[in-house]
Structure 1
């Protein structure tokens, strides 16, 4: 699985990257969140107002904020090639941190792990989606972008026509990293969010999620990338009603059957899916990664018919 892009048939490696089925992780770095993690600036207002109760809130928040249980290297080795990232600064601390209601891993270490993987996997490509930024002004953005450049350097793929960008072309040019930057910055190596739409269902109701995924795929612009968020999202009131339960028990496990039923009905290629993301990608021996990657075989099967 760690070399799945490298081992794709040449005909698939020549396809636009946006026509391949690519597995991704939702809130990719939450594996590092623990009961000792501090409340982060992306936590919603009711939590911010109750921050003085942090010692009591944190153990509950961990159960609802942690969406992955394996680190970035394990995710890469399992086939994950899209990473969903939320970045923030921390008062009194230098540098940047990944967040999801609570502070998670330091950015530097995670980026180095990804770089180390790419250095030994020349035919593999990763998509880093910098989704949200918190407590970051112009100066902090410049520092963060400099960190990306210092870490990945010439491996970063500049913006170009996505319909012409394939694994073959990226490998030939020594490019391995696509950086999506969902802000107003317009550096030529940062891909604006509009190049990779990522519609969000924002529901805990499984039929609504599946309907949302199908409707948005039908509306997809096939000259762009596309992220299908195959996740259920609890709001704060849902969490309060189920305070003694967890994201896993209420949103992850109940979705498993419907998630795989939906994935198996999809196909890659023109007018197909592109990036699909999930919580807890390691469940059932990384079944999610395998199911998504296997969609690429349907392209070959269709061409033989």
Structure 2
């Protein structure tokens, strides 16, 4: 649902969450950087060779973790399938709901704004209600409707027809039958547009160069959690992608896990590198006291925002690691300096140089 930002006068997005109505989340102030990041694939496509010649599964693609969770507020009190049973009875108690909202809200900006700021991988989690056939985006609690999230993606694609976005439905809750999954997939494909969505039956694969996706008119790779539903809808399923959770609150261990998984990745699949901290109960307890730090996942994740720069330094010494970096996801993916996105995209120029060097030194 298109909303309006009274302060800036710019178009924004407002979604009604299942537990109440959240505030409109608006575009950040327009700048040259935003316009450049909005169309980074378009500019690459217009250049001979270069980034657009790289396979999709070798491009460095900035992504967001729990992409739609920006819409979670203290009013979001409808539990999702990934909320712990011990917490559910207390979800509607105001102090508890406020703490939960701070530790389930992984992004500050709408999906539309994330795309405008260069994000090209959307982590999509859905709660399905069999009784009403309602579909909500979620992370612990339900927030905006699935349809509203997909309309944001479509609005971005309408403005930038040569950009390609991966939408990964890796967690689907409450869908226990084939027709439930079909409901979800049908909504996604119908809203985005069938011709824009990559078909499982086509010749496009993870190792296909970006340029061929754009030439074929494909703007979205929808990856769905349930293989049979994906096959019926002729979209990609989870067999085309790998993603490994680091499950630690240590910066060094997150980076070590990320590098190890990248070096061992399967060459024919997409690969998601999760630069994410996992909070423990001691961290979440601090949410009860706002002056304690960290009091939210957004603050907790802040040290990892610069992790791609540290990875970049490692890649200069390890060409194989550089080649294997693909999708990189973080919490709180957008800041005013575009620290995460800029560092991730900078890797692509070196990937091209690395690819050219490999060809030049190939035998024969």
**TM-score normalised by structure 2 residue count:** 0.77
SS at match of 2:94: helix
Aligned pairs for 1:1-305 (under 5 A) are 1-8=37-44, 9-11=47-49, 12-38=51-77, 39-51=79-91, 53-90=92-129, 94-138=133-177, 139-151=179-191, 152-159=193-200, 160=203, 162=205, 164-185=207-228, 186-187=230-231, 189-236=234-281, 238-240=283-285, 243-244=288-289, 245-249=295-299, 251-266=300-315, 271-302=323-354, 303=356
SS in 2 for 1:262: helix
Relative to 1, partners in 2 of residues 1:85 and 1:264: Cα closer, same or farther, differing over 3 Å? Answer: farther
Please give the alpha-carbon distance, in whole angstroms, between the structure 2 residues aligned to 1:221 and 1:83: 21
* Residue 166 (structure 1) shift: 2.0
Q: Could you tell me whether the CA contact under 8 Å between 1:40 and 1:99 is conserved in 2? A: yes
**SS of residue in 2 equivalent to 1:5:** helix
Unmatched tracts of structure 1, length 5 or more: none
Q: Distance in 2 between matches of 1:276 and 1:130?
A: 16
The C-alpha deviation readout for 1:111-157, integer Å capped at 9, x for no partner, is 01111211221210010000101111222211111112211211111
- CA shift for structure 1 position 227: 0.3
Cα pair distance change 1:272/1:54, threshold 3 Å: same
The structural deviation recorded for 1:55 is 2.8
**In 2, Cα distance between equivalents of 1:298 and 1:179:** 28
- CA deviation profile, 1:4-37 (whole Å, cap 9, x unmatched): 0111133121221111110000000011001100
| 8 Å CA contact 1:26, 1:67 repeated in 2 | yes
* CA distance in structure 1 between the aligned counterparts of 2:349 and 2:130, rounded to whole angstroms: 48
Retained in 2: the 8 A contact 1:222–1:271?
no
> Which whole-Å CA distance do the structure 2 matches of 1:17 and 1:262 have between them?
20
Matches of 1:260 and 1:68 in 2, distance apart?
20
Structure 1 stretch displaced more, 42-51 or 259-268: 259-268
With over 3 angstroms needed to count, the CA separation of the structure-2 counterparts of 1:189 and 1:211, relative to structure 1, is same
Q: Which runs of 5+ in 2 are unaligned?
A: 1-36, 290-294
Per the TM alignment, residue 158 of structure 1 is displaced from its structure 2 partner at its CA by: 1.3
1:39-69 per-residue CA deviation (whole Å, 9 max, x = no partner) reads 3232012212544x54331100111111100
Q: Note the C-alpha offset of 1:281.
A: 1.1
Is this contact kept in 1: 2:147–2:188, CA < 8 A? Answer: no
CA contact (8 A) 1:282 1:288 kept: yes
Residue 163 and residue 43 in structure 1: after superposition, are their counterparts in 2 closer, same or farther (change >3 A)?
closer
Specify whether residues 293 and 135 from structure 1 end up closer, same or farther in structure 2 by C-alpha distance, changes over 3 A only: same
Judged with a 3 Å threshold, the aligned counterparts in structure 2 of structure 1 residues 108 and 234 are, in CA distance, closer, same or farther, namely: same
Asked if the contact 2:308/2:344 (under 8 Å) is kept, the reply is no
CA–CA separation in structure 1 for the residues paired with 2:307 and 2:155:
35
8 Å CA contact 2:62, 2:121 repeated in 1:
yes
Query: Larger deviation: 40-49 or 71-80?
Result: 40-49
8 Å Cα contact 1:179/1:189 also seen in 2: no
Cα RMSD of the aligned pairs, angstroms, is 2.3
Inter-CA distance 232–164: structure 2 relative to 1 (3 Å threshold): closer
SS state at 1:73 partner:
helix
Aligned length: 303
Aligned 8 A contact 2:55 2:209 in 1: yes
